[in-house]
A and B are shown apart, each in its own frame.
Chain A
């Protein structure tokens, strides 16, 4: 009898576990499933710093200024229009009328003031209920926020900062429902409420976040009923789920998967430029790198085309400087340093290093925006070896890497900057202005060029874009001639969607605009 029971259990188990052909369950119409690279940490845009979180949050909350669906130029968002005073010290926003938060409370000037003051005013009743990591970087120049009437709000600045409008389009500038923040207090990051195309429904930890369409969205009727974000860290698992129909959309796919995806009839491959730069930092303070000719030689010695073609499988474009080509601040006349080892050797000899030298290169094994750091630096290492420079690679975990860069002991280091917008003030200034030297700022190359500093400062306080563009073009010519880094590439994002997804494009800000999707 007991033995018989055992068999019954075994057979039952076999039936349950047994092969079920085509485990992909029929996808319900109207539900879109997105594979996230990792689980969002929380859903308050002011309290996160990673793309996984903001990609979900930006469906829920919106900012006054916005990016259109295909670029990072600035267009009206929750503000219909704005004016900037001549001295750049007053920004007045006219707010869109009739917009409501998902909790049915009105979007108005008070809500705008609340959303920023909770981040920057230590005396604000809700300031202590959260940590706002970028508040100072983003909004440190705000002196005061005045509500002129129900639909007009004015920002007064301590000093002019021309990139302020771009910052107002970033995720932390999203407007939150004050009622929701007051209701949930320090738990607000798990109960986000905004005005966006989707409203938050549920979060099953480690498994999925569910959003539902906002039926009264002000901008356009949303065509997808529900979006589910699933965190799948392992790349192969994300790819398998996409190919077996359990995901509709996956991004951050590694270059090695491209060939497989290109020929697969079930999915469409997507590519899109990203506002990003990958560079090989050089410690400009250390010998022999303090000699401009050595840094030029390094740029000639590295075969960027080969890296983009063979390591990145085309998911990058060779860069000639920090600014993304084709954006308003880019210098169109700049061409990347050609691969010319002969010239590199000559420059090294002129600088007094005919036999080359030895140095170290710090590399994070992975990290936000780092593409394929180890493979890329391995190519760079062999390129440099060919001109007589012996490079020892030191690979480290991301957190360790960032900490070590503050010691200023680096020789060479691989790093990237994903600004997610096209304002050079948010790229060149922090990375290369001498006031931003690490550990005080992100200028980890310890670069200093007095003329560049002057141009960047001037561009920062100039409000007119055409004049700023001219200043930035000059700045880029200086950087090309006196290179602070080895310029490597700007990322081209790779994603894939199932065939039923229509109308989706990868956004240069790295945002995932699933609200543009309709399902076949």
Chain B
């Protein structure tokens, strides 16, 4: 087990290296560089050239990359071109907000998705099952920014139940209740697609399990129905469900970029969008690296969960 963990952690290195190369190259292949954006439409060639030299953009790309990596391995992600602050400080400051949002959406979609899925599987083709199928179709096909705005208009503007944006009230506030109220709309928006995917998958996994012989045996023993469904049914259907939840975490982390922008949620996504528009290379690289690392670690956690769920799975 320990060797397995060590090996998996070691595998992080090539993955992150790959991610870093890709993001480094993609940023530099996109037309426009930081100097161009900084100086805007008023720039002269002379100013541009001077700024490019100052920013180190005139060096060959591989030299720039090696220089950056040599700093990254020492824990230095560089300085944001615009924000005049170390990238690590900046990213970590926003990371907390992203973790809160992603975790809330994940909980929402895991709990909501499995509940919906199980309920639908217990009574296949019932009204509830059909409703959940239609809801899934909607959930999966609504773009995040559209759903976010619709929810905002309904719950913040018309009903006035919830705040429209930000993480805390502009003045006062700052406590847990304030945070939770601000969290509802972005978390629901972000979770909408995932919840339906998990629900559909849970439904089909459950239907398969509920048809097994041991379920019939459990029922024959005279167990109450919920115990049959949850203890014998759901527990055995969990492996594929956990897998899809793990994968969906990546989707949620990606979706957070849009959701955060819509709701002015001060997370890494908002930061990354600003960084991309300003071609703030070190900042974007830092954001992507942290997000990639989070995703890889979550997948590792999911893999470890398998063994706990199904004792037949062993790591060597």
Residue numbers of A with Cβ under 8 A of B are: 13, 16-17, 19-25, 27-28, 31, 33, 38-39, 41-42, 44, 47-50, 130-131, 133-134, 136-137, 186-187, 189-190, 204-208, 228, 230-234, 236-238, 240-241, 243-244, 246-247, 368, 397-404, 415, 417, 430, 436, 439-442
Residues on B with C-beta less than 8 A from A189 are 84
Judge if B254 is at the interface, Cβ distance under 8 Å.
no
Judge if B309 is at the interface, Cβ distance under 8 Å.
no
Residues on B with C-beta less than 8 A from A44 are 84
Q: Output the least CB separation between A54 and chain B (Å).
A: 13
Contact A368 B44 (CB under 8 A): no
18 A-B residue pairs with CB within 8 Å? A13-B180, A27-B171, A39-B274, A49-B40, A136-B47, A230-B166, A233-B264, A234-B149, A234-B261, A236-B153, A237-B262, A237-B264, A240-B153, A246-B169, A399-B31, A402-B32, A403-B33, A436-B44
> Nearest chain-B residue to A232 (Cβ)?
B264
Contact B47 A20 (CB under 8 A): no
Indicate which residue in A131, A246, A402, A441 contacts B51 across the interface (CB closer than 8 Å). A131
Residues on B with C-beta less than 8 A from A415 are 41
In the complex, per-residue mask of B130-155: 1 if CB is within 8 Å of any chain A CB, else 0 = 00000000000000010001001100
Q: Output the least CB separation between A16 and chain B (Å).
A: 5
| Contacts of B31-61 to chain A: CB distance below 8 A | 31-33, 36-48, 50-51, 54-55
Residues on B with C-beta less than 8 A from A232 are 165-166, 264
Judge if B195 is at the interface, Cβ distance under 8 Å.
no
Judge if B304 is at the interface, Cβ distance under 8 Å.
no
Interface size on B, residues (CB 8 A): 69
Residues on B with C-beta less than 8 A from A131 are 38, 51, 54-55, 81
Residues on A with C-beta less than 8 A from B43 are 133, 137, 442
What 5 new A-B contacts, CB under 8 Å, besides A25-B172, A134-B42? A20-B181, A206-B97, A234-B165, A236-B152, A442-B44
Contact A240 B93 (CB under 8 A): no
Residues on A with C-beta less than 8 A from B33 are 403
Judge if B24 is at the interface, Cβ distance under 8 Å.
no
> Nearest chain-B residue to A189 (Cβ)?
B84
Q: Output the least CB separation between A434 and chain B (Å).
A: 14
Judge if B279 is at the interface, Cβ distance under 8 Å.
yes
Residues on B with C-beta less than 8 A from A241 are 163-165
Residue numbers of B with Cβ under 8 A of A are: 30-33, 36-48, 50-51, 54-55, 81-85, 90, 93-94, 97, 145, 149, 152-153, 156-157, 159-173, 176-177, 180-181, 184, 261-264, 266-267, 270-271, 273-274, 277-279
Measured between alpha carbons, how far is A208 from B277 in the docked complex, in Å? 20
Q: Output the least CB separation between B16 and chain A (Å).
A: 25
Residues on A with C-beta less than 8 A from B30 are 399-400
Contact A136 B46 (CB under 8 A): yes
> Nearest chain-B residue to A228 (Cβ)?
B170
Measured between alpha carbons, how far is A517 from B46 in the docked complex, in Å? 42
Measured between alpha carbons, how far is A189 from B82 in the docked complex, in Å? 10
Indicate which residue in A19, A42, A234, A238 contacts B82 across the interface (CB closer than 8 Å). A42
Contact A206 B266 (CB under 8 A): yes
Measured between alpha carbons, how far is A442 from B41 in the docked complex, in Å? 6
Residues on A with C-beta less than 8 A from B163 are 23, 241, 244, 246
Contact A402 B85 (CB under 8 A): no
Contact A234 B263 (CB under 8 A): yes
Contact B170 A33 (CB under 8 A): yes
Given contacts A241-B164, A246-B164, A402-B40, contact A17 B181 (CB under 8 A): yes
Residues on B with C-beta less than 8 A from A399 are 30-32, 36-37, 277, 279
Given contacts A25-B171, A402-B40, contact A205 B93 (CB under 8 A): yes
Indicate which residue in A206, A403, A440 contacts B44 across the interface (CB closer than 8 Å). A440
Given contacts A234-B264, A417-B41, contact A398 B277 (CB under 8 A): yes
> Nearest chain-A residue to B159 (Cβ)?
A19
Measured between alpha carbons, how far is A27 from B172 in the docked complex, in Å? 9
> Nearest chain-A residue to B157 (Cβ)?
A240
Indicate which residue in A27, A49, A233, A238 contacts B261 across the interface (CB closer than 8 Å). A233
Residues on A with C-beta less than 8 A from B93 are 205-206
Q: Output the least CB separation between A138 and chain B (Å).
A: 10
Contact B159 A137 (CB under 8 A): no
Given contacts A187-B84, A207-B266, contact A240 B54 (CB under 8 A): no
Which of B48, B163, B279 has the most A CB atoms < 10 Å from its CB?
B163
Residues on B with C-beta less than 8 A from A237 are 152, 164-165, 262-264
Given contacts A206-B97, A231-B264, A430-B42, contact A400 B171 (CB under 8 A): no
